[in-house]
A = this chain, B = another copy of it.
Amino acid sequence: MQVLSYTEENYLKGIFKLTIEMADKTEAGTNEIATHLGVKPATVNDMLKKLKDKKLIHYERYGKSSLTKEGKKRAIEIVRKHRLWETFLHEKLAFNWDEVHEVAEQLEHIQSKKLIDKLDQFLNYPSADPHGDLIPNAKGELSILPRKTLIEELVGHQCKMVGVKDNSAEFLKYVDKLGLSINQPIKVKAKQAYDNQIDIEVNGKKHSISPKFAEQIIIVCPTCNKK
């Protein structure tokens, strides 16, 4: 598989944003792409011809552009890398969520399949980046798992925290104390019929939490949705 230049990758990513992530359109015009990327239309025109030759986009003279199947696949790989790096910067290196984008713009162009797969693993296969945007998996699939709260999770299942409902300092402090954070795996060990307390395991540590608390923790559960 041919390696694309830094610039070619940025064009694919830009066209992806304009045609696939924007709900209302499936094609992008030359001027529109130019504005989005901060270059002149003449420059875009040259690149569109080049990307067409490489079979990464559909393009005809005076027409709009869109990604081919291969082009879309490539674009999704770049988006995946971008969002995984953002997650890394935020979760592991304590960058603020509004500082991560600029650095991820550079990191997303690093060429190494092994690197990105290992990073994914290291981050616990996150499904969303610090901005809440979904992260495609290694196959390029955007898994939209239904969200629920921890109180609804089945005993024996392993789920992943993706957010909270309560945002009070008091609540967040408790969340923190239990070792919970975005993308943190949680295993439900048992539920007490008597008072609905839930026994969970987080990072090897066991806790018993109240239903009131569990109700505030938003999760997704791959196990529930498999098959």
Contact = CB atoms under 8 A, between A and B. Distances in A.
Contact of A103 (B95, B102, B103, B115): B115
Interface stretch (A105-113, A145-153, A202-210): A105-113
A5 to B, nearest CB: 12
Nearest to A99: B114
Interface string A140-168: 00000000000000000000000000000
Nearest to A100: B115
A54 to B, nearest CB: 22
A81 to B, nearest CB: 12
A125 B94 CA distance: 16
Contact of A110 (B93, B95, B106, B119): B106
Interface of A, helix, strand, loop or mixed by DSSP: helix
A94 B118 contact: yes
**Assembly stoichiometry (copies):** 2
Contact of A93 (B99, B103, B115): B115
Contacts of A110: 103, 106-107
B106 A112 contact: yes
A89 interface: yes
A106 B114 contact: no
A105 B95 CA distance: 24
A97 interface: no
Nearest to A117: B93
B106 A89 contact: no
Interface of A: 89, 92-95, 99, 102-103, 106-107, 110-112, 114-115, 118-119, 122
Given A93-B115, A94-B118, A107-B107, 17 more contacts: A89-B115, A92-B122, A93-B118, A93-B119, A93-B122, A95-B114, A95-B118, A99-B114, A102-B112, A103-B110, A103-B112, A103-B114, A103-B115, A106-B110, A106-B111, A106-B112, A107-B110
